[in-house]
Structure 1
Amino acid sequence: MTTDANHRTRRQGPAMLRGRAVPQTTTDQRLLDARGPSDWVHADPWRVLRIQAEFVEGFGLLAEIPRAVSVFGSARTKPGSPEYELAVDIGARLHEAGYAVITGGGPGIMEAANKGCDEAGGLSVGLGIELPFEQKLNAHLDIGLEFRYFFVRKTMFVKYSQAFVVLPGGFGTLDELFEAITLVQTGKITRFPIVLVGTEFWGGLVDWVKKTMLTSGKISPEDIDLFHLTDDPEEAVRVIVDAHVQQARLRDEEEAARAAAEAEGVDGS
């Protein structure tokens, strides 16, 4: 008689494991767990090579993709629901605006955004993650890559995205949202648009940020401008396009000023 354990399946990097071969912990868990015997001292240097390999594989696969927008949201969102269809619409609109779409590669909002982009003829990318439960890459991807380590995967989202669109989601969605805001706020990355879609879902959080974090001096007034809240998919994409047009104009002005300064220096020498 077979058991549920015999039927368990997990993707672990490029490998597929089933039944008794499925480990009881994830790669991230084994890396970060300080408990247990001291053999981790000897194992960690080898983990560094695996981590390095994930970075190399990700950089190599994604280096040539065009400008892209990452879309985040719940894996639990059901196909056909209003939030799912909203993500499909946003995925299609992003392609029409000239962007590839990157998601976490799973079901729910991720699948919907990939589907919208894919069916509109765009480049659809999914960056999956090894989890204790099986979560397959969705069927609407042109490029799919599965990671063992969350921090490697998160680096890929930030490095290869020019904007974030964040639909209703859980802890993972919040993690991606606040990491992006923090990186922009601290100047670790060039400022890029962060759009929250869903005023009913996000409104309470935004109010708390304004009424509690801001009024108590934990953030600056200008930090409120690091994200934009809307219900309109057209507005969400327009915010991104307008921001990139403005950034391009500023770069052109800076380059022109630099060239003029260099020419003046030559003439005056």
Structure 2
Amino acid sequence: MATKKVIKATPGKMIYHNMEFIDSDVGRPIRIIAEFMGPSLIFAEEGVKNTIVFFGSARTLPMSEILKRRKKCKNAKELERLKKLESVAEYYDAARELGAKLGRWANKQHKGFAIMTGGGPGIMEAGNRGANDVGTSSVGLNIKLPFEQHPNPYIDDELNLQFRYFFIRKYWFMKMAKALVVFPGGFGTLDEMFELLTLIQTKKYGDRMPVVIFGKKYWNKVINWKHLADTGMIDKDDLKLFHFCDSVDDAYNVITTALEKTME
């Protein structure tokens, strides 16, 4: 029978300096409060007041990277995976281009705008990369996971945040968000998108914000939006909570037009 580990006092030190205590089950409330309160100090210090948030898959690769990996790869399973990713490779380049274009717009506003992503690879990397290309503040909200998630190199060092808890990370996605772009993704992207749409639908989120769902062909295969409305699961007006866009220019115009109206 395993014995329960006892947290011992460290002579001469406060209990909250004991990392064994902080990392324990009883230390969880302290960890939660730290993740909830800490980012506000960082954002204030770095002058980040408003964000444009990018959601999307961590697995997406640009076509150039897929071709490079295919040349070196001899593993059949990996080659099959790369083949599947070819169909969504265009979205990496689109996310990078949109991040840069929105970044240039943000730079002219002098309103403390930043491009914010989940901080990992794929679409998240592309969004941060676009912001980094044009010198816009680039925020990454990383999450501690056993696979996939690692900080991409295009996040500003001072704005590279690490989270343990999904629910607090989601809070910070939404806290300063003025617009949202959802690129193709899997379970995590669906979770983030629907939570935010639910908050807007139920008026739990303060201001109505522009929400762009990028890649209509992909999303219409994943979700039967019309069926949700036809069966009364959502109101038809709920389909107006977001805009489908298939081009960077269209997404840019939807977002900036809406934001500029709020700043008039």
Q: Give the TM-score taking structure 1 as reference length.
A: 0.72
Unaligned runs of 5+ in 1: 1-26, 28-39, 250-269
Tell me, yes or no, if the aligned pair for 1:94 and 1:100 is still in contact at 8 Å. Answer: no
Amino acid at match of 2:182: V
Distance 2:55 2:234 in 1: 24
Name the CA shift for 1:226/1:134 in 2 (closer, same or farther; >3 Å).
closer
Shift of 1:216: 1.4
Tell me, yes or no, if the aligned pair for 1:62 and 1:160 is still in contact at 8 Å. Answer: no
- RMSD of the TM alignment (CA)? 1.7
Distance 2:203 2:35 in 1: 26
Which deviates the most, 65-74 or 131-140?
A: 131-140
* Secondary structure class of the residue paired with 1:158: helix
**Residue aligning to 1:73:** 56
Identity fraction in percent: 44
1:175 aligned onto 2:183:
no
Tell me, yes or no, if the aligned pair for 1:86 and 1:233 is still in contact at 8 Å. Answer: yes
Tell me, yes or no, if the aligned pair for 2:43 and 2:49 is still in contact at 8 Å. Answer: no
Tell me, yes or no, if the aligned pair for 1:70 and 1:103 is still in contact at 8 Å. Answer: yes
* Secondary structure class of the residue paired with 1:235: helix
Displaced runs of 4+ in structure 1, greater than 3 A?
none
Distance 2:241 2:183 in 1: 16
Distance 1:102 1:198 in 2: 20
**Deviation readout 1:214-267 (Å, 9 max, x if unpaired):** 111121121110010011111112111111233344xxxxxxxxxxxxxxxxxx
**Residue aligning to 2:168:** 152
Q: 1:89 aligns with which of 84, 97, 103?
A: 97
Q: For 1:35-46, what aligned pairs fall within 5 Å after superposition?
A: 43-44=25-26, 46=27
**Deviation readout 1:172-192 (Å, 9 max, x if unpaired):** 011111011000000111211
Distance 2:121 2:103 in 1: 20
Name the CA shift for 1:215/1:111 in 2 (closer, same or farther; >3 Å).
same
**Deviation readout 1:157-215 (Å, 9 max, x if unpaired):** 00021111011111101111101100000011121111011121112345x121x2111
* Secondary structure class of the residue paired with 2:154: coil
Shift of 1:134: 5.9
Q: 2:144 aligns with which of 104, 109, 130?
A: 130
Distance 2:96 2:128 in 1: 7
Tell me, yes or no, if the aligned pair for 2:58 and 2:149 is still in contact at 8 Å. Answer: no
**Deviation readout 1:114-153 (Å, 9 max, x if unpaired):** 1111011111110000102263211111110000000000
Amino acid at match of 2:116: I
Which deviates the most, 98-107 or 238-247?
A: 238-247
**Residue aligning to 1:231:** 246
Unaligned runs of 5+ in 2: 1-22, 65-88, 107-112
* Secondary structure class of the residue paired with 2:177: coil
- Count residues in correspondence: 206
Higher alpha-carbon Rg: 1
